């Protein structure tokens, strides 16, 4: 009671004024003056903390397709497999989507587990297989169902979005070869989507890009992986034939009209003192040029040694040993050429030069 009595009415009226002054002072502060400085000081650089992943996009997709129904054109079975595979991936990666009711959760930007790259791949495969199944059911039905066709186009569009997401993730977390395979996979999905929408010219360009890169990857791969890429090229032929038919173009089985600029359109300069079938070779890398010249020098030395009369057993063993060294040198040069061929990416001019150089090294 005595405390309440000691407070005068003037003090009671002054207290709200001080509070208002404090509030006005806080309003007059420039936005982001102190808080933003604290937040900016605590920010850490965002980026991957791991080595670039080596993720075989096309090999994994084709292997899973052949093992889960597509060998018999059973796209429904493959769609069901993709659904189960996604559920297992979510559980292993602890990538949850709410409890009880589904809640869409974006894929984290930073991760250390390569299996996160499988998530957009399996999503794209599931949407693509469902679209192909709807398209096949609509083609075999008694009458065309426009609703089914619209649904299949939407599934193809969803597959393109997931393939683009995979490409974006590979650009940050994967190596150059994986990025090239993801770009090829995106081109294939975009070609399927544009083909279903009957945009023949754009679909033809995307499918041609996919075929060219698959042919390049087949050259730069081993026997087993090269066979997979060659099978992919064969699978693209019916789609290319359909596009060219609707555009009134002549179809070529060899695929010589791949849309790339002709080799004679730009004169090539003989910068490497090497020729292949009458054409000068352009070698952008001095390291590879030195290796090829060294191999050619070893070949000429072997020809001079063999050109003499019959030699003894020790000399023949030395010649065989030199052949082994020559084979190892050529294998090393081919390995470097394949690496540069992949690093060329979508640059068709550089890819054509590396392709000719690879053929020269093989012969």
pLDDT for 57: 92
Question: What per-residue string of b and e applies to 192-209 under the rule 16 or more CB within 10 Å gives b?
Answer: bbbbbeeebeebbbbbbb
Cα separation, 190 vs 281, whole angstroms = 35
190-195: Cβ within 8 A, 24+ apart: 190/160, 190/163, 191/239, 192/128, 192/131, 192/156, 192/159, 192/239, 193/153, 193/156, 193/157, 193/159, 193/160, 195/239, 195/242, 195/243
Cα separation, 292 vs 361, whole angstroms = 8
Which residues have CB under 8 Å from 70's CB, separation 6+? 78, 129
Cα separation, 34 vs 36, whole angstroms = 5
Q: What angle do CA 179, 235, 204 make, to 5 degrees?
A: 70
Q: Say if CB 247 and CB 211 are below 8 A apart.
A: no
Phi, psi of 357 (to 5 degrees): -65, -35
Q: Say if CB 127 and CB 155 are below 8 A apart.
A: yes
Phi, psi of 20 (to 5 degrees): -65, -35
- Neighbouring CB atoms inside 10 A of 129's CB total 25
In tens digits, the chain (363 residues) has pLDDT values of 444 445 554 554 444 455 454 445 554 555 544 444 444 445 444 666 778 889 999 999 999 999 998 988 899 999 999 999 999 999 999 888 777 777 888 888 888 889 999 999 999 999 999 999 999 999 988 888 999 999 999 999 999 999 999 999 999 999 888 999 999 999 999 999 999 999 999 999 999 999 988 988 888 788 888 888 989 999 999 999 999 999 988 766 555 445 544 444 443 444 455 656 655 666 666 676 677 777 777 777 766 666 554 555 566 677 677 777 777 777 777 777 777 666 665 556 666 666 666 666 665
- Partner residues linked to 276 by β-bridges: 279
Q: What SS3 state is found at 276? A: strand
pLDDT for 297: 73
Residue ranges in the chain assigned as alpha helix (H): 2-6, 9-28, 35-42, 57-67, 75-93, 118-140, 146-173, 176-196, 200-219, 223-246, 286-306, 313-343, 348-362
Q: Say if CB 159 and CB 124 are below 8 A apart.
A: yes
CA-closest candidate to residue 59, choices 203, 230, 296, 264: 230
Q: How far are the Cα atoms of 195, 210, 261, 350 from residue 204, in angstroms, in the given order?
A: 8, 10, 16, 22
pLDDT for 154: 96
pLDDT for 98: 75
- Neighbouring CB atoms inside 10 A of 159's CB total 27
Q: Say if CB 168 and CB 204 are below 8 A apart.
A: no
pLDDT for 103: 80
């Amino acid at each position: 009671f005595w405390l309440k009595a000691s407070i005068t009415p003037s003090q009671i009226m002054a207290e709200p004024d001080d509070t208002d002054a404090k509030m006005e002072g806080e309003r007059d502060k420039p936005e982001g003056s102190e808080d933003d400085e604290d937040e900016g000081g605590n920010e850490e650089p965002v980026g991957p903390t791991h080595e670039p992943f080596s993720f075989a996009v096309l090999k994994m997709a084709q292997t899973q397709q052949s093992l889960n129904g597509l060998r018999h054109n059973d796209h429904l079975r493959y769609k069901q497999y993709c659904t189960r595979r996604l559920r297992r991936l979510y559980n292993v990666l602890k990538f949850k989507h709410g409890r009880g009711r589904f809640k869409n959760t974006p894929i984290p930007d930073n991760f250390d587990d390569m299996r996160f790259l499988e998530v957009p791949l399996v999503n794209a495969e599931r949407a693509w297989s469902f679209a192909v199944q709807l398209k096949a059911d609509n083609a075999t039905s008694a009458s065309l169902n426009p609703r089914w066709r619209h649904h299949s186009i939407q599934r193809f569009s969803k597959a393109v979005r997931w393939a683009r997401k995979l490409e974006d993730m590979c650009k940050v977390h994967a190596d150059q070869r994986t990025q090239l395979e993801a770009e090829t996979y995106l081109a294939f999905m975009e070609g399927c989507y544009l083909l279903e929408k009957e945009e023949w010219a754009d679909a033809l360009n995307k499918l041609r890009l996919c075929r060219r890169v698959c042919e390049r990857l087949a050259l730069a791969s081993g026997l087993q992986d090269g066979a997979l890429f060659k099978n992919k090229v064969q699978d693209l032929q019916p789609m290319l034939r359909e596009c060219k038919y609707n555009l009134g173009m002549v179809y070529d089985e060899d695929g010589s009209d791949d849309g790339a600029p002709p080799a004679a359109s730009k004169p090539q300069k003989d910068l490497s003192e090497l020729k292949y079938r009458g054409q000068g070779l352009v070698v952008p890398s001095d390291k590879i040029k030195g290796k090829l010249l060294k191999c050619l020098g070893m070949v000429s030395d072997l020809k001079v040694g063999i050109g003499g009369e019959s030699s003894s057993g020790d000399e023949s063993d030395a010649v065989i040993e030199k052949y082994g060294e020559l084979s190892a040198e050529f294998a090393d040069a081919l390995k470097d050429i394949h690496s540069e061929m992949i690093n060329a990416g979508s640059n068709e001019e550089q890819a054509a030069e590396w392709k000719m150089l690879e053929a020269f090294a093989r012969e």
